[in-house]
Structure 1
């Protein structure tokens, strides 16, 4: 199929980050971008020398574009994904896939019926820290798995670099919707289905504002407990910890990429792993998928399964 030729809808912080990854990859080109914020669109177009579309539909009509990357707020994912698929374009969508599992079901059905490539942007599983955690976990480092825990603590939400009109809203934003999906996907990838999800949210009085805390639990198919713990507005620097506790060893992925490990009678110690650009590794896999080779990409099916858990966590 040749190079991946990308059209991008949405040029916010994450959208620009992924755009840079495409631009620096030898097997990808970014041909055209669109953003509903005309000032932002002009800035990005001028900065990178990429054509700016006056209307997002121009990307669907561009015959040279073979992949649409959708990096807009979650409530717009369904609309843009459905239109892109109906226009015959392969789709990469930001997480979470949708606003509800019902929307995700429609998107998955449409994607599978077209035979087009469909993927969700979950870059963490391509990083060196996670890859080593996965290798150790699958090779028996943990012994018998006893518990899976996710702890996400934020000094403030939204973070200083995330100031926009939706990231703090209850219907689209919040750290559960923005950060938890990465780790839900990891749990599904490593251990399979999560069931019996029960959640308790801390919500501000203003119904427009997102959660400030969550304690939730679930179980893997073998009965192993899964704990979700999140808080914002804390007197500490942001810290993310994904912990796997076993009767022979413990693994902890901290702040996305740091891997810590311990065996019996040992303290947790950081394991130095070979660094890798997770976005470049992800695009390498997209290239394989475009060439019809087996590829490690996160399809809409997994995105839909993540959305199902997310809906249960956010149920008031």
Structure 2
């Protein structure tokens, strides 16, 4: 088995994280073909940080060199790069959201499905150990039949400290905001575990002119399961705090701060799973799992055990819900 050649467009936070995960992966599974970013500063930083990575001259050069293209550019550029990769019979692994415009994203999904293109979207919960633990608890009857889901996302400030270099678009209404950047992950998880999303009521607050949202709330269903979503900036002293709580007649379980699986004890305290680890430790393991699945997708092999990578259609459905919330 030859390794898949992974090409990367974008050397921001996400591009760097997946690049480092690929460099630390089994070289028999994945090899980095090269990276390009339109920012001269980003390319200079790459040369300093990881000089062994081929720095290519253009997006076209990356596509030509790879078997699978990972797109970590801002959302406005996703579809152009993906279409260019499909035209060269490359697989695509894309960051979310698929596009700025929902209708354009949905048209793209229809095109890709019709052509049989190999593609997936990077929702890391598909490979998160904490999610696997929640599923084991559900199977063990810890909650009983699931009755509802509560999602809460909170930030001290937006963008978060590690994203400030990209604040120009991450805090603008066209492409940024925490609902797209963070909320979409938890909506994907609800959709993947319990079924298609149907939005019922929603609200959004834009108290600062020209900047992204500072509060959202929504009620919806995932399949037949009621879901509540609440999010806000300035509602916690943590840079990033979130919970995804699954509620049933027998008990409650949750995923806290992206990675930590917990169950509600009889005394009312939340107890971590014995093997729970924080997101900083879990992230490289999660990305390793994502890359294993990307390699299988690219090579046309059966996917590893566990949840599959997010499909383009799932990503488009989540995007429609998020954009409807943000439209107010």
**TM-score with structure 2 setting the length:** 0.89
Q: Deviations over 1:228-268 (max 9, x none)?
A: 10010235223111111111110110001111102666533
User: Which moved further from structure 2: 154-163 or 234-243?
Assistant: 234-243
Partner residue, 2:297: 289
1:106 aligns with 2:107: yes
Contact kept in structure 1, 2:265 and 2:271, CA below 8 Å: no
Runs of 4+ aligned structure 1 residues displaced above 3 Å come to 263-267
Structure 1 pair 45/7, CA: closer, same or farther in 2 (3 Å)? farther
Structure 1 pair 137/96, CA: closer, same or farther in 2 (3 Å)? farther
How many Å separate the matches in 1 of 2:124 and 2:30?
17
Which of 161, 169, 172 aligns to 1:169? It is 172
Query: For residues 89-238 of structure 1, what are the structure 2 equivalents within 5 Å?
Result: 89-163=90-164, 164=166, 165-206=168-209, 208-222=210-224, 224-237=225-238, 238=240
Q: Deviations over 1:143-180 (max 9, x none)?
A: 13222111011100011110122111111111001001
User: Which moved further from structure 2: 93-102 or 240-249?
Assistant: 93-102
Structure 1 pair 196/121, CA: closer, same or farther in 2 (3 Å)? closer
Specify every segment of 5 or more residues in structure 2 that has no aligned partner in the other structure, as ranges: none
SS of match in other structure, 2:170? coil
Specify every segment of 5 or more residues in structure 1 that has no aligned partner in the other structure, as ranges: none
1:312 aligns with 2:314: no
Q: Deviations over 1:99-135 (max 9, x none)?
A: 2321222221232233332010111231221110122
Structural RMSD (CA): 1.8
How many Å separate the matches in 1 of 2:80 and 2:298?
24
How many Å separate the matches in 1 of 2:186 and 2:272?
20
Structure 1 pair 110/192, CA: closer, same or farther in 2 (3 Å)? same
**TM-score with structure 1 setting the length:** 0.92
